[in-house]
Amino acid sequence: MKRLLLSLAIFLLTINFIYAQCSSCDATVTVPDAGNYTPGNNKTICITGSGEFTGTINLDNANSILCIGEDVIFKGSLNINKSNTTINNYGTLELAWLSYSATFNNYGSVSITSGINVNSSGTFNNYNTTFGAVDINGDVNVDNGANFNTDGGIVVNGNFTANSGSDVTLNGAGLQISGTLTVDSGSDIVGSGTSGSCEGITYGSIVLNQTSALHDLDVCNSTDPDATNDVTFDASITTCDCSSLLPVTYVSYGTTADYSNNSVKVSWSTSSEVNSYSFEIEKSIDGYEFDKIGEVYAAGNTEAVTTYNFNDANPKYGKQYYRIKQLDVDGNYFYTEVMVQFYENRKSTSEGMLVAVDNANLQLSFDEYIESGSLEVIALSGKLIYQSEVDVNDYLYNLQIKNNLSSGIYIVRFRNLENYWVKKVMVD
């Protein structure tokens, strides 16, 4: 039995490894990259490495495949011009708009700022079971016999429309739709998960062109649950039995740099909580690897607006990333979107930098290696004489500026992410 369990564990780990990787690549692009690529017929192009892709991928040829690696943030342009092409996303896809009639398979995360349009033979498959891994800040249109399938809860901050014989399948998952859910004749939305799960849809309003358009689901008007009873549904439909697709409904969440307390403040508010246990605050320096830095216990069950705060007392200079992990009493958890916060050093010092005037040069000398920073030369009157972003790449920096300065006292300021130096210098 132990040997069988071990074999099963190895098999599952292997499957997860395969899911997280791109394979059988005819061409490989390593990020960061901003190129323009068009794979040929029956060719697979893989974007790998760790970082951002800001270029363009054109799927113009038959049976071409795009694979996005797990540590890739795709922020470029994606032009899908053939219906028999495939996109496999294991990383993070950030686009303004996604429109296609091809096959899209998501194993990572997707953020769309305007909307998604899946046409004719197109298919959208979301295999990521984390609620909110697919976040669409706009409308979703599933048209002309297209298919939309999800294993995880999807947030749609707009309208959701299934037209002309299109099919939507929720596999133990849900749709949180802030706008109008429209299902016309010939289209279906079906729940096909296990009996222990809740395939549910919350919506702002609903338009059904046939009673049997929804099957084996729980549906509820998010703004007025009683209004759901005014709609005629198929006999397999329950109404508002799922207390919430998202156990916690956020009003807002965000971060601010609190320089007076040398910290970054993480704040969030909820309008309702169901069986909520706690909120874990996670932080990352690179945007990929997150570590828990604190925990705040939740209200549990409430319909009142509740506000929470957490202070990161050890911010790093520069850009850092935060997210909130909300845990239920039953062990389920859900993530917010990642919040980006820039934190700069605002403490000035005269130690560690010497300024000397030598012939036509203004020379800066540091007691540590400096890569780059912002240099300012200011007259005592407050007039800015010189300002520039400079590359030092050493312990010394020379600036030919003396001939532009009249005799007098000047203030030299140099700032990078870690330090902020201020010195007075006399020019003869």
**Whether pTM exceeds 0.75:** no
**Average of pLDDT values for 345-368?**
74
Q: How far apart are CA 60 and CA 81, in angstroms?
A: 5
Q: Is the pLDDT of residue 267 over 90?
A: yes
Going by their DSSP bridges, the two strands 147-150 and 160-162 should be labelled as unpaired
**Average of pLDDT values for 260-264?**
85
Q: How far apart are CA 66 and CA 57, in angstroms?
A: 8
Q: What is the pLDDT of residue 242?
A: 66
Q: What is the pLDDT of residue 348?
A: 56
Structure-token pair, residue 79: 């032009």
Q: How far apart are CA 99 and CA 399, in angstroms?
A: 52
**Average of pLDDT values for 288-309?**
90
Q: Rg of the Cα trace of the chain?
A: 28
Tens of pLDDT along 316-339? 877 789 999 998 887 777 788 788
- Per-residue pLDDT band at 359 (split at 50, 70, 90): low
Residue 423 vs residue 61, higher pLDDT: 61
Q: Is the pLDDT of residue 12 over 60?
A: no
Which H helix or E strand runs over 13? helix 2-19
Residue keyed to tokens 């300065």: 405
Residue 419 vs residue 141, higher pLDDT: 141
Residue 300 vs residue 246, higher pLDDT: 300
Going by their DSSP bridges, the two strands 408-415 and 420-427 should be labelled as antiparallel
Following CA atoms 381, 385, 386, 387 in sequence, which dihedral angle do they give, to the nearest 10 degrees?
50
DSSP state of 7: H
Tens of pLDDT along 173-199? 888 898 999 998 789 999 986 544 568
Residue keyed to tokens 């909300």: 326
Domains along the chain with CATH numbers: 1-90 (no CATH), 248-343 (2.60.40.10), 353-427 (2.60.40.3080)
Q: What is the pLDDT of residue 16?
A: 38
Residue type, 121: S
Residue 267's CB is within 10 A of a number of other CB atoms, namely: 14
Residue type, 22: C
Q: What is the pLDDT of residue 28?
A: 94
Tens of pLDDT along 207-225? 998 888 999 988 988 777 7
Q: How far apart are CA 354 and CA 222, in angstroms?
A: 63
Q: Is the pLDDT of residue 1 over 70?
A: no
**Average of pLDDT values for 44-69?**
94
- Per-residue pLDDT band at 5 (split at 50, 70, 90): very low
The distance between the two most distant Cα atoms of the chain, rounded to a whole number of Å, is 92
What's the Cα-to-Cα distance from 22 to each of 26, 81, 127, 373, rounded to whole Å?
11, 22, 16, 39
DSSP string, 254-296: EEEEEGGGTEEEEEEEEEEESSEEEEEEEEESSSS--EEEEEE
> Is 37 within 8 Å of 55 (Cβ atoms)?
yes
Q: Is the pLDDT of residue 60 over 50?
A: yes
Q: What is the pLDDT of residue 227?
A: 83
DSSP state of 330: T
Residue 32: cis peptide before it, omega within 30 degrees of 0:
yes
- Per-residue pLDDT band at 61 (split at 50, 70, 90): very high
Q: What is the pLDDT of residue 174?
A: 83
- Per-residue pLDDT band at 15 (split at 50, 70, 90): very low
- Look at residue 399 and give its three-state secondary structure: strand
> Is 282 within 8 Å of 290 (Cβ atoms)?
yes
Q: Is the pLDDT of residue 23 over 70?
A: yes
**Average of pLDDT values for 385-414?**
80
Q: How far apart are CA 254 and CA 341, in angstroms?
A: 9
Q: How far apart are CA 340 and CA 255, in angstroms?
A: 8
Q: What is the pLDDT of residue 8?
A: 35
